[in-house]
Amino acid sequence: MTDDAVTKRAHGIVARYHETDDERILTFEDESGDGTAAVAQNIDGYAMLKVRTASDGDELERYYGFDMALDHVGERLAVAPTALPIPDPASDMGM
């Protein structure tokens, strides 16, 4: 993992974006500790987005669009997808 993780908070959700050698990863955590989710994409920024239980968790589903992946994350965390904080470097995820 790189040292340049970017964090953003809103509506009781903490979002962290970071890159590994292989992936771009956007993780979400409910500040109450009740839920987590992650959206991952290959490091080149193409291919389907993977929604996981956590950064290194089980894959739940794959999506072409970032908005569809965020819908799934919102359902997992019981918040509207529009309430999810998105750090700027992650805003271009998806195909």
Tens digit of each residue's pLDDT (9 = 90 or more) over 21-51: 999 999 999 998 889 999 999 998 788 999 9
> Which is nearest to 3 in space by CA: 13, 14, 17?
17
Q: Which domain holds residue 43?
A: 6-89
Compute φ and ψ for 83, nearest 5 degrees: -90, -10
Question: What's the N-to-C CA distance of the chain in angstroms?
Answer: 23
Domain-located, residue 94 = no
Task: Give yes or no for a contact between 83 and 30, defined as CB atoms under 8 angstroms apart.
Answer: no
Residue with more model confidence, 81 or 33 = 81
Residue 50 lies in a domain: yes
Residue 95 belongs to a domain: no
- pLDDT (average), residues 64-90: 95
Residue 14 is assigned to a structural domain of this protein: yes
Domain contains 40: yes
User: What confidence score (pLDDT) does residue 47 get?
Assistant: 84
Provide φ and ψ at 42, rounded to 5°. Answer: -60, 160
Domain count, the chain: 1
- Judge whether residue 95 has pLDDT over 70: no
